[in-house]
Chain A
Amino acid sequence: MKRQMLDMKENEFNALILDERDNIVVLTKDVKEGDVLYSSNHTKMVEVRDAVPKGHKAAAVFIPKGKSIIKYGESSGIATKDIEPGSHVHTDNVRGLSEEERQALRLSMNGEEYR
C-alpha cells in the first residue's frame, strides 16, 4: 500500500485536541488512509486508518469496546467496537449513553447520592 504522508509545514496541523483528557481528536482537514495526524501542539500523532472528513473525529489512542469516547474531557458516547488509533470515530462504532449511564454519571459527583 502506498503511503501518502501529508507534507505539513512547521505551524500546520490537521487534528485539534479539545481537552488533554480526550481520547479523540477533531480533524481540521480531510484526511485519508495513510496520512499522519498532526495535533495542534505540532506533534506527530498516529497514522490514519480510514478516510475521515474535516470536523469529524479520529481515535488518538486505542479505545476498547464499552469504554467512553472522551471529548471536552467528558463522556460523549460509548464505543460499540474496539477502536484502533487513527480510526474514524462515528455512528458505526459509537452509541449514545443510556438513561442509566447518564444517571450514573450524574450521581458520581463527590461520591454523593443525588437522587
Chain B
Amino acid sequence: MTETFQGFRRTDGTIGVRNLVIVMNTDAELAGLAKKMADLVSGVIPVTHQTGKTHSEEDREQVRRTLKGTAGHPNVSAALFIGFGENDEAASMVDELREEGRNVHLMTLTKNNPVASVMKQGKEWLTEAVEGSLLEKREKADIRELMIGMECGGSDAWSGVTANPSIGSFSDSHVHRGGTTILAETPEAIGAEHILAKRAVNEEVSRAFLDLVGNYEKRAENIGEDIRSANPSPGNIKSGLSTLEEKSLGCIKKGGTSPLKEVVKYAQQPQEQGFIFMDTPGYDVESVAGLAAGGAQIVLFSTGKGSPTGSPIVPVVKIGTNPDLYRNMPEHIDVNAGKILEGTYSIVDMGEEIYHTLIDVANSAVTASESHRNREFSIWRMAETM
C-alpha cells in the first residue's frame, strides 16, 4: 500500500489535502454579507453560521474554537473574516493564527467602513488570496500525518454490521501505522461507554471519557430526554437490535479496537497521535464541523439512508451500508460496504478499500459530497442563547 500522499504543506508544519480560500462571518448577522463576498471572487467558499456573541461563556469559547480551527485548518490556504464593530473578537483570533504563519485577515464593518467599502476591500484581498493559492503546489507527505474523523448519519440496520466495522478495521490499520483517527458523537456511545472506557490508555483518559458521557446524559435529562431508556427504539428492535449496548456497540465499532489515547472537547485539536474521542452531538452537521475544526483533514461517514452531508473545508467520504442504497443513490456514496452482504468482501477487505479511497481523496480525488457542493456547516452549542 502507498505510504505517502501529495498534500499542501503549511508554514506551521501541518499538511492539507485541499487548498481552499474561505470567507467566514464572525457573527450570525454577517452571514449574508459573507456569502455575497464569496460570490464576488471565483473559487472562494463561504463558511457561514448562525452563532454569535450572545451565548454563555462556554458556548462563546466553543464558537471561537470552531471558527479558529476552521480558519486555521490545514486544508485552508487563506481565510477572510467579516466582523462587526470596533472590538470584534475575531481580532485576537486572527493575531494568533498569523503568529502560526496562517494567511488570515479580518475586515470589520463600522460606521467609517460601510458595506460597499468592506465589499471592495474584501474582493481585493480574496482575489489576491486565490492567486496566491494557485501558486501553492502539492508535495509528498506521510499518510501518518492524516487525521481522520469518523462519523455516521442516517444509520440503518446494516450500519453496525457492514460500514461501521469496516471503518473500524480501517481505523485500527491507520492507528497501527502511526496515524490518528477521531471517533465522535457522544450520545451514540451511551450504553457502551464502559467498553471505550476500558480501552483507555490510563485512568485519567478513562475518567475523562466517562465524565463526558455522564455530562451529555445530564444535559439531555434536563430537557426531558432519557437516552438510555428510549433506546433501542421500536424501529431498532424491529430491525433486530435487542439492547441499548448492542446498538451503541454498533456505533462505536467505527472506532475499531485500538487503545483510546485522548479525549478532546468539541473542535479541540488532539495532542496525541492514535485513536482519539471527540465530544460532539449526534447531529451530523455539527459533529463534522467539530471534527474538521479539530484538525481532521478528511471525515469518513457511514450512512444507510444516503445522507448528503458535506463540509465546506474537508472532504466527507460516504460509506454506504447496504447494496440497495448503492443501487438507488450511487451519486451520494463513495464506498459500497454493502458488498459485505453480497459475500464478495470481508470486513477487512472493506477496511482496505476505505484506506485506498482515502488516499485517492487525499491526493485530490473528488468525493460525492464535494461534487455536489454539499457544504453544510453548523456549530454545536450547549446552552441557551442570552
Chain A residues within 8 Å of B, Cβ to Cβ: 11-13, 16, 18, 26, 28, 40, 53, 55-57, 69, 71-77, 89-91, 94-97, 102-103, 105-106, 108-109, 112, 114
CA distance A55 to B191 in the complex (A): 20
CA distance A103 to B198 in the complex (A): 10
Residues of B within 8 A of A114 (CB): 197, 203, 206-207
On whether A103 and B194 interact (CB within 8 A), knowing A18-B165, A71-B249, A77-B245, the answer reads: yes
Name the residue of chain B whose CB is nearest to the CB of A88: B240
Q: Is the CB of A13 within 8 A of B343?
A: yes
- Identify which of B161, B192, B197, B249 contacts A55 (C-beta below 8 A): B161
CA distance A62 to B242 in the complex (A): 18
- Identify which of A16, A97, A109 contacts B161 (C-beta below 8 A): A16
Chain B residues within 8 Å of A, Cβ to Cβ: 157-158, 161, 165, 191-192, 194-195, 197-198, 203, 206-207, 237, 239-240, 242-246, 249-250, 253, 257, 340-341, 343-344, 346-347
Q: Is the CB of B244 within 8 A of A96?
A: yes
Q: Is the CB of B198 within 8 A of A109?
A: yes
Residues of B within 8 A of A112 (CB): 203
Q: Is the CB of B194 within 8 A of A106?
A: yes
Name the residue of chain B whose CB is nearest to the CB of A92: B242
Q: Is the CB of A56 within 8 A of B198?
A: no
- Identify which of A16, A91, A102, A105 contacts B340 (C-beta below 8 A): A16
On whether A55 and B240 interact (CB within 8 A), knowing A11-B344, A71-B246, A71-B249, the answer reads: yes
Taking the closest CB of chain A, its distance from the CB of B113, in whole angstroms, is 57
- Identify which of B245, B253, B346 contacts A96 (C-beta below 8 A): B245
CA distance A105 to B198 in the complex (A): 8
Name the residue of chain A whose CB is nearest to the CB of B347: A18
Residues of A within 8 A of B346 (CB): 40
A-B pairs with the 6 shortest C-beta distances? A56-B240, A106-B194, A96-B243, A76-B246, A77-B243, A55-B157
Residues of A within 8 A of B198 (CB): 105-106, 108-109
Taking the closest CB of chain B, its distance from the CB of A14, in whole angstroms, is 9
- Identify which of A12, A91, A105 contacts B195 (C-beta below 8 A): A105
On whether A90 and B242 interact (CB within 8 A), knowing A74-B249, A108-B198, A114-B206, the answer reads: yes
Name the residue of chain A whose CB is nearest to the CB of B156: A55
Residues of A within 8 A of B257 (CB): 73
Q: Is the CB of B243 within 8 A of A94?
A: yes
CA distance A69 to B249 in the complex (A): 12
Residues of A within 8 A of B341 (CB): 16, 28
CA distance A57 to B239 in the complex (A): 10
CA distance A59 to B198 in the complex (A): 27
Taking the closest CB of chain A, its distance from the CB of B320, in whole angstroms, is 16
Taking the closest CB of chain A, its distance from the CB of B217, in whole angstroms, is 12
Q: A12-B343, A91-B237, A96-B244 are in contact. List 6 more A-B contacts (CB 8 A).
A: A28-B343, A55-B161, A71-B249, A90-B237, A94-B243, A109-B206
Taking the closest CB of chain B, its distance from the CB of A99, in whole angstroms, is 10
Taking the closest CB of chain A, its distance from the CB of B159, in whole angstroms, is 11
Name the residue of chain A whose CB is nearest to the CB of B206: A114
CA distance A23 to B304 in the complex (A): 26
CA distance A76 to B248 in the complex (A): 9
Taking the closest CB of chain B, its distance from the CB of A78, in whole angstroms, is 9
Taking the closest CB of chain B, its distance from the CB of A92, in whole angstroms, is 9
Most buried by A among B249, B340, B343, B346: B343
- Identify which of A90, A96, A97 contacts B240 (C-beta below 8 A): A90
Q: Is the CB of A77 within 8 A of B237?
A: no
Most buried by A among B157, B158, B198, B346: B198
CA distance A71 to B243 in the complex (A): 11
19 A-B Cβ contacts within 8 A? A11-B344, A18-B165, A28-B341, A72-B253, A74-B192, A76-B245, A76-B246, A77-B245, A89-B242, A91-B237, A96-B243, A96-B245, A97-B243, A97-B245, A102-B194, A105-B198, A112-B203, A114-B206, A114-B207
- Identify which of B158, B194, B250, B343 contacts A11 (C-beta below 8 A): B343
Q: Is the CB of B243 within 8 A of A18?
A: no
CA distance A8 to B123 in the complex (A): 65
Q: Is the CB of A40 within 8 A of B240?
A: no
Residues of A within 8 A of B253 (CB): 72
Name the residue of chain B whose CB is nearest to the CB of A53: B240
Residues of B within 8 A of A71 (CB): 246, 249
Taking the closest CB of chain B, its distance from the CB of A26, in whole angstroms, is 5
CA distance A114 to B340 in the complex (A): 38
